[in-house]
């Protein structure tokens, strides 16, 4: 859904990439710094409950995620290891963001749930945690389906929700919940994320099956 914005955004951040190159930073260094920053901020956000501030910082880190590619293009042109490192650390960052959401639901249900009323469970937190766990699974399987298809010569990149789309859904849900102190918004965001993730996984499976039935290789490394 957001893929059409990638080109203009890369042109916008090119001056920042050039400044980082002048400072002596490599593409791989920026990849590692961004991933570590995302992991720390995501977990800290879940623990502290500072969702709005966390969403803002994670948005900035998410936008900066494109800098490593721009730096690589302007310097080495990109390496196989750089692409591998970026993809691998993206998976860890995705896990961290959703783990931060789970931690938040487990630690801050008192925002909207009166624990003294034990006759009515905290369904908001339960739904949010379960949906976030499903989203972690679909995030990993979506990437694995593409990688596995490519390993046998087929390109499978389709799906209703790219990584950028998934991050937007999470961050918007975090920001609204941070402003309203109502976990229902984040829980609904997690449910939407889980549903779109499941759809994307099946779309990639069906696309791989279609291409393999035809038997014409579509991926060339």
Q: Which residues are catalytic?
A: 90
- CB-based contacts of 32: which residues, under 8 Å, 6+ apart? 85, 89
Q: Are 75 and 90 in contact (CB under 8 A)?
A: no
Residue-level length of the chain: 221
Q: How far apart are CA 124 and CA 107, in angstroms?
A: 13
Cβ atoms of residues 107 and 46 within 8 Å: yes
Q: What is the DSSP letter of 120?
A: S
Q: Is 59 exposed, middle or buried (0-12, 13-18, 19+ CB in 10 A)?
A: middle
Q: What is the spatial distance between Cα 181 and Cα 37, in angstroms, rounded to a whole number? A: 25
Residues near 75 by beta carbon (within 8 Å), at least 6 away in sequence = 21, 26, 27
């Amino acid at each position: 859904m957001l893929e059409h914005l990638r080109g203009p955004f890369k042109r916008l951040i090119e001056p920042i990439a050039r400044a980082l190159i002048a400072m002596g930073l490599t593409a791989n260094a920026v990849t590692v710094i961004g991933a570590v920053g995302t992991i720390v901020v995501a977990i800290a956000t879940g623990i502290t409950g500072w969702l709005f501030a966390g969403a803002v910082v994670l948005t900035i880190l998410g936008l900066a995620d494109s800098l490593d590619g721009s730096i690589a293009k302007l310097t080495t042109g990109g390496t196989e290891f750089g692409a591998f490192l970026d993809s691998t650390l993206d998976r860890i960052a995705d896990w961290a963001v959703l783990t931060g959401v789970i931690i938040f639901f487990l630690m801050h249900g008192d925002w909207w749930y009166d624990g003294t009323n034990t006759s009515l469970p905290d369904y908001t937190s339960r739904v949010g945690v379960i949906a976030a766990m499903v989203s972690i699974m679909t995030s990993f399987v979506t990437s694995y389906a593409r990688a596995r298809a490519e390993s046998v010569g087929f390109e499978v990149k389709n799906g209703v929700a790219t990584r950028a789309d998934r991050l937007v859904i999470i961050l918007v849900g975090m920001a609204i919940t941070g402003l309203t102190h109502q976990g229902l918004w984040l829980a609904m965001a997690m449910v939407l994320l889980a549903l779109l993730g499941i759809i994307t996984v099946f779309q990639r499976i069906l696309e791989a099956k279609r291409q393999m039935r035809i038997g014409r290789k579509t991926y060339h490394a």
